[in-house]
Structure formats: structure tokens, C-alpha cells
Amino acid sequence: MAAYRSAAGFQRVLHAVKHVCFSKQRCGVIICRYSTVYDPNEKVSLIIRDFSLFLTCVIKTCKKMGIKTVAVHSDVDSSAVHVKVADEAVCVGPAPTSKSYLNMDAIMNAIKQTGAQAVHPGYGFLSENKEFAKRLAAEGVTFIGPDTHAIQAMGDKIESKLIAKAAKVNTIPGFDGVVKDAKEAVKIAGEIGYPVMIKASAGGGGKGMRIAWNDEETSDMGFFLSGHISDICANGFCWCLQVLADKHGNALWLNERECSIQRRNQKVVEEAPSTFLDPDTRRAMGEQAVSLANAVKYSSAGTVEFLVDSKKNFYFLEMNTRLQVEHPITECITGLDLVQQMIRIAKGYKLQHKQSDIPINGWAVESRVYAEDPYKSFGLPSIGRLSQYQEPLDLPNVRVDSGIQEGSDISIYYDPMISKLVTYGKTREEALKKMEDALDNYVIRGVTHNIPLLREIIVHPRFVSGVISTKFLPEVYPDGFKGHMLTAGERRELLATAAALYVAAQLRSQKFLGDLRVSVVPAESRQWELCVELDKSVHMLGVSRSGNNYTVEIDGEKVEVSGEWNLASALLPITINGKHRTLQCLLRTAAGEISLQYLGTSFKLRVLSKLAASLSKHMPEKVPEDTSSILRSPMPGSVVAVSVKPGDNVAEGQEICVIEAMKMQNSMTAAKTAKVKSVHCKAGDTVGEGDLLVELE
């Protein structure tokens, strides 16, 4: 597959992996995908812990290298894909992360039980925990990552900024100490000038960071009392520089990753390289990233994040002392396998290449596919069972890193990421077109997902032209994401497809094993008059058929639709007026209801015969619920707090309760000023999406 091809100069690196061995005993590690040759006489087993989507590709690599794997998991993950494909599995506790994946005692016991000699922490849970690294070292277990000094230095955002300054790395102007209280925060922010970024000193992953635009917002951020404040460009870019350093003082930078498309300070779409950087800025940024790594004697793969303004001035933000989710796009354009390099470094090998060896071959784009509802704050978690799941791996230059399969459960306990969808091309245009096709061919049923948002991002003219920033989503969708807005031509395409699909289904229902169900039936009709409803508008359509080709007349315009019309397939590849499209039929009922995923967005239509349409007007309509007097959960999760009781008077906008799911808290507020009639939940309850929480009078 072209997305994995390695530059010719790196073939020796891939073959050299056979010399990596901690011993001929059993050891534990998280590794990523390789294409390697291994020595069958060297027997090593490795223990695995992290997100399932990361571990599955790790295990495949280990098998190629002759390395046995041990998966650690919580009880609710006992049927996870990585558990099934690993050589061994050890349960380390119940679902809550504090009792399983963050339970150091349980993990250390698993290491002793399996005789593991090394652990790779992946990019979650204990990956940047210095205490965990210390405990491994005390037991003689190798930590596949940097030493505890580097983890501590870069984990504290205040200390890391001071170290960066000493290493002559550009830093954001701001306050380098600890903010004591909200009053001091407002004072410091006023001196710096708005907007300011307030970040927890030990925060990470985008969750410990907020932007304040005025004194009120700064004062409200009371949970950042141990944080620091920095100036920030109001409409900047976010870039990650991948670095690689060994234990012998050698360090490389592996080019940048563009990470500006974010929601809630968390990345959504990434690409490598960036459209904005020129070679000189890239080199200067890379040299500063390496300088910082050398300053803390870093030895492993790491990521240095920079904020960049419109004038290409760049400023150090933080260093992540671990592998990051989006590392595959760096692998695609450099030909290097980053996890392979981490293992070599941990064993004590020197880097086998110089900075001049690092290429930029082609372009790679990654979309983070989440079980989220993109219509709610650009993505609130969704849970459920994957009733149907099909990855677009039959397309060329497409890579999918996932840890789920059809039948897997998405729970409230962990990150809702389904997969990392990566496409590769010789040019950015080619990579984006492949991403568009991959998203159209990605089948996910049973949970709400963010493919509609991802597809809209990659085809948006502003993104295609490279004019992007960290404010992209709120600027492009100021009123929230609403899905794809159909043009007149696209609306005709959708209506015509629904009509053709309806007729194809009607014709199929008249046959059994290719023959007519009864011998005496009227001759098959070739003309139909249909009524199609879309977005409360009604369209009268004329449909004619010739084989698998349909001609649909809409408002005096003809649309030609053709295809195989395999109604049992999850995908519906068709040709509309000579243009190839891949749609998905999500729902089709006997009442004429059809849901089609078209251009990434799901559209609900209703197709009826002319007679049925004339009779449907006599059917009573369902009265919509008065949502101002009730409060329902916008997502599945657990109730953290309830602030009211029956009889209380609440004002519009007052917090009523807090729902938490997948590391995200959502404050629920009153839609109007009223008295509380009843409360249907309490702290600690588990609720589903749409469950009734509170009623108002």
C-alpha cells in the first residue's frame, strides 16, 4: 500500500529491527505497525496497555517481528479487539480508569505475572506519568519512552517554559509563575492584554487549556488556580514538530504536522506537511524543537507544539513526552516507523540516519473518527453497539488504525474515538480527494459519528485553499454545525436517487429468486409518478426506467441515475448525470421513509406514490414536545451533580445539573425562569441520551 511505502534510504532501518531484543525472556510493550524482517531464533513477548485502536496495529507489528504480546484490559474491555488478537490478556480491574488503566499496582502485578521486561505506554493514561516510569525502573522493567527527568520537566508547563527560554526557544509572552487566585488572574491578564490563554500547569490533551477574551471569562476560570497565563494570537495556527532523540545525544526533527482544526482545543483533522510553512521557517522551528529536546536530555519520540501567527512567528506551547494520535501522517511522508524507532532507542541503539536523510514525500491527511454527535457543540459523545461496521480499506492509499469491529460497544468510560482515518497522495489535492472517498465509503451504524463534520471540513473552500486556523470551526459555523447545505443541483441529485431507489425496491419486492412472485400480474411498469418530501418541501417527480438506468424529471429538469442497486449492500455506488457518487441507505421502511447519507450528511426523505401522497394528508401529525419545560440529557453519561430540588425557583441560564461522559463535563441549564416541578436523577446515576432529568412548571 502506497501509504506505507518507505523511502529507499530507510530499508536498512526496517531490517535492523531484528537485532532489537530485551532478552530471550518475556517483555511487555506497545508497538505500532512495521514491515520488517525478524530473526525467528529471538523470542520476546510484550505487554500492551492503551487505547484499543492503537494496540491492534501494535499487535500486528509484534507478530511480524516474532514478538508475543500481552494485553491488559478492564473488565468491560474483555471482548475488545486487542484482547482477542493478543497472545495473552490480563484484566487489571473494573471499568473506571482509576481502578484499571490508571491503577499502577494492578499493572505492576500484570507485569510480574507475565514476566514482562518492558512497557510502552502508548499515548494515553500513564504515558506521561513520571511515578509510573520510576516504579518500572525500580523493578528493572524498561519504559519505552523518555526518562523521568524529561517527563517531569516537560509535564510541568511552567518549568517547561523556563527550560525552553534557557534553550533559546521562542516562548509566548506571559506570566511564568503560578496564578494564586481569580483576582490575580484578572490582574495579570489585563497587563498582558486580551485574548489570553490560561493553562493548567500539569494539563494536557487540550482539556487543560482555555482562552479568555475579557475579565469576566478570566475570573470564571477558577479551576485553573494552579495554572499560568500567556498571550495568544486570536486567530493563529497550531503545529506539532515530531522529534526523535537517542541516548547518545543525537536528535532529529521529522517535519511538522498541521493541527489547527480543533474543537474544544482538541484536534479533529491533521495533515503533514503544512500549507503555510516555508523551508526556512520549518528548519528554524525544527532546530528549536531539537534544542529543547537536548536541553532535557530527551531520548525517545516526542512532540513539540508551537503556536504560529499570520506573520510566521512561532512560539513554544508545550512538549508531549509520548507518541501522539496523529503520528501516522508523519510516518507516511517520511517513511519512518516511529514506534519502531522508540523501541530501538529504548534498547540503547543510536539513530541510524541524519537530519539530511529525512524526506517530505507526498502529503498525508488524518481525520479523527469519533462516536460523537457533531450537531451538538461540534461533538458530544455517543454510545452504543456497532451494528454494522466496514472500513474503506479496499481503496488505495487509505490507512485505518482502529481497535473495534462490528459488534463492539462504545461505552461511557473511555475516549469515544473510533479510528484514525489516514489518506496519502503525491499532492495535497490527491490526499484530500482520497479522504473524501474514504469518508463516503466508511460504514458506521449503531452510534452517532462525526463523519458529516469531517467531510464538510475537507471539502470546504477555505480548508482546501489552506486558509485555516484554530478558529476555523467557530468562524465557518458560527451558529453550530448544521450538516451539508444542499445546492439546487445537489438537491435534485438526492431527490432523483431516492426516487430511483424506491422504484428499485418496489420492483425487487415483486420478484422471488429473479422470477415474478405470481404468474398472473400486470406487465411491469416503466413509468412512475412519485411524491418525494425533503425538508418539509414536496416535489412531484416523474420516473422512467430502462434496465438499471433511471431518468427522473424534477421541475422540468431531467436527472440520469444508474447503478447496480444492490439493496443488501451498505454502500450504494451510483452514477448521477455521469458523475460517480457513493451514498449509503441508512433506513428504508414500508411507509416510504428513506434516510440517505449523501455527501457525508444524513438526509431524511419520504417517497410515496401519487395515490398514497393524496391520502397521507389525512393522517394526524405528532405534536412536538415543549422543550422549554423539560431538561433531557444531551448525551449518555453519569450525573456528577444536581443543583436543584422540587419547589426551587430557577432563573433562565441557571445550572441545574452536570453530566459527565468520556472525560467531558456538560453543564445543564434552565431554558426559562420557572419553578422546579420534579427531579428525575441524582448524583451518581447513569443516564442515556434523551433521558428526562428535570421538569419545570
Q: Which residues are catalytic?
A: 322
Please answer whether residues 23 and 114 qualify as being in contact, where contact means their C-beta atoms are separated by less than 8 angstroms.
no
Q: Is 695 exposed, middle or buried (0-12, 13-18, 19+ CB in 10 A)?
A: middle
Phi, psi angles (nearest 5°) of residue 540: -95, 125
Element (H, E) at 320: strand 314-320
Distance CA 126, CA 144 (A): 12
The alpha helices in 9-103, defined as continuous H runs, are 11-16, 52-65, 81-85
Element (H, E) at 660: strand 655-661
Q: Which position has the grid cell 541503539?
A: 349
First to last CA, the chain: 61
Strand partners, 686: 638
Q: SS3 string of 460-499? A: CHHHHCCCCCCCHHHHHCCCCCCCCCCCHHHHHHHHHHHH
Other Cβ atoms less than 10 A from the Cβ of 189: the count is: 28
DSSP β-ladder status, 44-48 and 67-73: parallel
Strand partners, 258: 239, 271
Other Cβ atoms less than 10 A from the Cβ of 295: the count is: 17
Distance CA 551, CA 515 (A): 24
Rg (CA), the chain: 28
Q: Is 524 exposed, middle or buried (0-12, 13-18, 19+ CB in 10 A)?
A: exposed
Please answer whether residues 586 and 445 qualify as being in contact, where contact means their C-beta atoms are separated by less than 8 angstroms.
yes
DSSP β-ladder status, 251-263 and 237-245: antiparallel
Residues in the chain, total? 697
> How is residue 319 written as a grid cell?
512538549
| E-only strand ranges, 167-275 | 174-175, 196-200, 209-212, 227-231, 237-245, 251-263, 266-272
Beta-carbon contacts of residue 125 (< 8 Å; ≥ 6 apart)? 49, 50, 97, 101, 102
CA 256 to chain CA mean position, Å: 19
